[in-house]
């Protein structure tokens, strides 16, 4: 379907749309609230979903800020990779479905169902491998509202200080099915998504990918058109507000030019917006030097100001940090969300159980950036802050598929450890294998090749075993023991020290297996490294000598004084919340 037809469909009233297709609304009584199934993401795909390739999502949205509702018209193109007798999607039951058709034929009520938000469409003619299916679904309703975005996500309906509508979506933890029919799984990305967003004409609607222009519909609304390649499903985002657009070009170290765009509120202080915008090229240069080329240089590096804190929406990252300064020398929120263009959008985890590859490696880019800007002191300060926040009650990776709710909830998964512990594991790994092997490992994980250049890679999926394999190859050693203890075990390893006369013995305990992690030891100012074969080592030291274990804090390990601090913090303040 063409962009102009979608613009027309979005502009039509839903009554007219139903009449035009001779299709009465098929769900007269939509649910009053989203189901528990809909409010999580990443549940295992069905056999039908595994048997089809998602080629394209063509999505038209008409957003009504006054009524806080949405009209949608989604055309989804699939190719069967195995025989199929039905199609399965995820879609929130709060919407009234106007019509469903497949390959241009109306699907009558009873031939499709949507219990609990898993929509099943029976096919009149079964598909064989290679056959195409084009599904069109028109719908209307009030989408799930976020309770505390971005953590408890959904639609955010807000107003600016001058009472203009200010709207955003943030659905990482809940999934794309909160406002469009999709395959709500990390591996459910369409090869392309076209978006057509109809809004009041005095507002703007920046979104994912490349801008294809806008159309004045002549009724007080305007349709904004965008196209994005390989978008992460939860990263497809609506952003609507009275924005002022700032633009520039970034001249990449890889020879290409990346368009820079920042949509700020018209009411912002211009000097603060300009200062933030000036950070864009510095951050890009860092990531390109440490990981590789900006993955979406053919589209844009985009940032939009939102009424919630932030989210890694591919090429249109949400920014809600209000230009705050915290003494780090950079905006932490902008830097963190930008990391996800590499760790999340270019390289997407296979399941939510591998989410530390997004959050942990992405979070480690922050102390590395602090060092890149201002030296070791600032890197160490950030690492020390991260260390104080660890919980260590669940492993970073369980080894089995999990959904977002399980992974991000403190009672069932690693939660905030995905960020902080993941970053500290990455730091210990870099200290163990060296800068160059670590950097090569990240590059291969993110791009699937050691020599990425603009145009020679596409987004990919990766898992923790993929990363372990790459690290083993780049370090030329088997580091299974490292990941078994740090990633697949909840508790941190403990370094025990005993003294017998002038002999000091060190032993690693509380490890998943033999743990030959080398340990640096400082004895009266003299530094040495113990290889710790089989997890043990010893060295001479005069009685009364002052001994510091791991004086440069290269090792992630259990420490009594931090345990005491954490216990007091939990008692006084309660648990922390993840940041996206």
Residue 102 maps to which CATH number? 2.60.40.1730
> Residue 578 falls within a domain, yes or no?
no
Decide: 447 and 346 in contact? Cβ < 8 Å: yes
Query: Are residue 451 and residue 478 in the same domain, yes or no?
Result: yes
Judge whether 420 and 408 are in contact, CB under 8 Å.
Answer: no
Nearest to 536 by CA among 553, 512, 514, 560: 514
Q: What is the pLDDT of residue 29?
A: 74
Q: Which residues contact 234 (CB under 8 A, 6 or more apart)?
A: 41, 171, 172, 175, 176
Q: How much of the chain exceeds pLDDT 90, in percent?
A: 91
Evaluate whether residue 565 is within a structural domain.
no
The total domain count for the chain is 3
Question: CA 536, CA 522: separation in Å to the nearest integer?
Answer: 17
Element containing residue 46 per DSSP (H, E): none
Residues 373 and 226 in one domain: no
pTM above 0.85, yes or no: yes
**Residue 574: inside a domain:** no
Q: Say if residue 277 is in the same domain as residue 342.
A: yes
Statement: residue 462 has pLDDT above 80: yes
Contact 438, 429 (CB under 8 A): yes
Do residues 530 and 506 lie in contact, with contact meaning Cβ atoms separated by under 8 Å?
A: yes
Q: Is the domain of 124 the same as that of 152?
A: yes
List the CATH number of the domain containing 534: 2.60.40
CA 558/CA 115 separation, integer angstroms: 47
Boundary-marking domain end, from 470, 486, 502: 486
Expressed as residue numbers, the domain containing 515 is: 494-555
Determine, yes or no, domain membership for 571. Answer: no
Q: How far apart are CA 90 and CA 525, in angstroms?
A: 62
576 in a structural domain: no
Which of 221, 242, 263 is the endpoint of a domain? 242
At 570, the pLDDT band (50, 70, 90 cuts) reads confident
Asked if residue 296 lies in contact with residue 341, where contact means CB atoms within 8 angstroms, the answer is yes
When pLDDT is averaged across residues 154-177 and rounded to a whole number, the result is: 97
According to DSSP, the residues that pair with 521 across neighbouring strands are: 528, 549
Residue 144 is assigned to a structural domain of this protein: yes
* 431 and 328 within one domain: yes
Among candidate residues 242, 264, 284, the one where a domain is terminated:
242
The 10 Å CB-count burial string (b at 16+, else e) for 363-388 is: bbbbbbbbbbeeeeebbbebbeebbe
Same domain flag for 230 and 302: no
- Residues 217 and 126 grouped into a single domain: yes
Higher per-residue pLDDT: 246 or 15 = 246
Does 475 share its domain with 543? no
* 534 shares a domain with 461: no
| Cα–Cα dist 538/551, whole Å | 17
Same domain, yes or no: 470 and 366: yes
**pLDDT tens-digit series, residues 77-94:** 999 999 999 999 999 999
What's the CA gap between 531 and 478, in Å, rounded? Answer: 15
- Give domain status of residue 567, yes or no: no
Instruction: Please check whether residues 48 and 163 belong to one and the same domain.
Output: yes
> What CATH number is associated with residue 332?
1.10.390.10
Residue pair 247/232 in contact (Cβ under 8 Å)? The answer is no
Is residue 498 located within the same domain as residue 516? yes
Q: Each residue of 362-410: pLDDT tens digit?
A: 999 999 999 999 999 999 999 999 999 999 999 999 999 999 999 999 8
Q: Is residue 302 part of a domain?
A: yes
């Amino acid at each position: 379907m063409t962009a102009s037809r979608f613009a027309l469909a979005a502009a039509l009233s839903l009554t007219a749309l139903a009449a035009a297709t001779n299709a009465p609304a098929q769900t007269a009584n939509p649910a009053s609230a989203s189901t528990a199934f809909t409010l999580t993401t990443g549940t295992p795909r069905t056999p039908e979903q595994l048997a089809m390739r998602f080629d394209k999502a063509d999505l038209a949205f008409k957003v009504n800020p006054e009524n806080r509702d949405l009209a949608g018209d989604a055309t989804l193109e699939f190719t069967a990779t195995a025989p199929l007798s039905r199609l399965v999607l995820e879609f929130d039951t709060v919407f009234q479905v106007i019509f469903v058709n497949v390959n241009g034929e109306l699907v009558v009520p009873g031939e499709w169902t949507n219990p609990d938000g898993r929509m099943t469409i029976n096919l009149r003619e079964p598909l064989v491998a290679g056959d195409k299916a084009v599904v069109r679904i028109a719908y209307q309703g009030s989408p799930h509202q976020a309770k505390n975005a971005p953590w408890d996500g959904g639609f955010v309906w807000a107003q600016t200080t001058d009472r203009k509508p200010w709207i955003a979506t943030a659905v990482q933890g809940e999934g794309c099915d909160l406002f469009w029919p999709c395959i709500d799984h990390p591996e459910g990305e369409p090869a392309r998504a076209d978006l057509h967003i109809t809004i009041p004409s005095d507002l703007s609607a920046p979104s994912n990918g490349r801008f294809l222009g806008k159309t004045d519909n002549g009724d007080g609304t305007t349709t904004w058109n965008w196209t994005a390649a390989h978008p992460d499903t939860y990263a497809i985002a609506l952003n609507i507000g009275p924005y002022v657009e700032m633009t520039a070009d970034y001249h990449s170290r890889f020879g290409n030019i990346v368009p820079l765009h920042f949509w700020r509120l018209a009411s912002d202080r211009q000097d603060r917006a300009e200062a933030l915008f000036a950070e864009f090229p510095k951050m890009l240069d860092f990531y390109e030097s440490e990981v590789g080329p900006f993955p979406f240089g053919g589209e844009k590096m985009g940032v939009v100001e939102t009424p919630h804190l932030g989210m890694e929406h591919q090429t249109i990252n949400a920014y809600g940090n209000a230009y705050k300064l915290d003494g780090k020398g950079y905006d932490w929120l902008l830097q963190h969300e930008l990391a996800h263009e590499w760790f999340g959008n270019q390289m997407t985890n296979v399941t939510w159980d591998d989410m530390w590859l997004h959050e942990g490696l992405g979070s480690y880019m922050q102390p590395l950036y602090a060092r890149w800007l201002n030296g070791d002191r600032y890197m160490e300060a950030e690492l020390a802050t991260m260390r104080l926040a660890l919980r260590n009650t669940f492993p970073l990776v369980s080894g089995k598929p999990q959904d977002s709710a399980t992974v991000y909830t403190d009672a069932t998964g690693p939660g905030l450890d995905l960020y902080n512990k993941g970053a500290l594991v990455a730091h210990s790994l870099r200290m163990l294998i060296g800068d160059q092997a670590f950097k090569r490992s990240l590059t291969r994980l993110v791009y699937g090749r050691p020599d990425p250049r603009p145009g020679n890679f596409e987004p990919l999926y990766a898992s923790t075993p993929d990363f372990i394999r790459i690290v083993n190859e780049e370090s030329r050693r088997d580091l299974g023991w490292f990941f078994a203890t740090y990633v697949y075990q909840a508790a941190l390893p403990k370094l025990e020290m005993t003294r017998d006369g002038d002999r000091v013995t060190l032993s690693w305990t509380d490890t998943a297996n033999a743990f030959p992690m080398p340990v640096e030891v400082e004895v009266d100012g003299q530094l040495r490294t113990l290889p710790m074969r089989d997890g043990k080592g010893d060295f001479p030291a005069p009685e009364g000598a002052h001994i510091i274990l791991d004086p440069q804090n290269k090792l992630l390990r259990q420490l009594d004084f931090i345990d005491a601090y954490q216990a007091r913090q939990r008692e006084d303040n309660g648990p922390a919340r993840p940041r996206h």
